[in-house]
Amino acid sequence: MRGRPHEDPGAETPRAHHRLPLHIAEVREGQGPPAPPPLPGYLCEQCLDAPAVLVVPAPEGGDMGICAACQQAAAVAALPVLTAAAGQQTLWHPIHDADRLAAYRAAAGMPLPAWWDRCVATAPARVCPCGSYRLRWGEDEAT
């Protein structure tokens, strides 16, 4: 988008290369900031079905518009996978990042002991509540 010959050199480039925060719907539904407004005249070049809300680097080089849902899906897909055994309904892992731990404590809905540093997820969640892992439950290992 920058340096294209048909653009005015003084024109502002629309919110280029910003990342949207990852929102975990199971825990933080309704707590995130409002969705960014669509960029006028831009369509998501990944799904071709929604207005673009930000501009990101394209895989082939250059820039491309992307919608919030596609950006969110890419962020989740980039998370490491935590796999449960067949029939297991709960997974936990320590939270080593202080910011994630603080956000997890705030979203817990009940006071946690000061020593508590575990993120606990239950089936069928697809992302752990602190946002560190994608979850794969034993019965859906084929996916």
Q: Whole-model pTM?
A: 0.57
Of the listed ranges 9-13, 63-67, 130-134, the least confidently predicted one is 9-13
Say which amino acid occupies 103.
Answer: A
Cis peptide before 124 (omega within 30 of 0): yes
pLDDT tens digits, residue range 34-91? Answer: 677 888 888 899 898 899 998 888 888 888 899 988 888 888 888 889 898 888 899 8
> Span 117-121, mean pLDDT?
90
| Residue pair 45/58 in contact by the 8 Å Cβ criterion | yes
Give the contacts of 122 (CB within 8 A, at least 6 positions apart).
89, 90, 91
Instruction: Pick the closest to residue 13 from 42, 46, 49, 47 (CA basis).
Output: 42
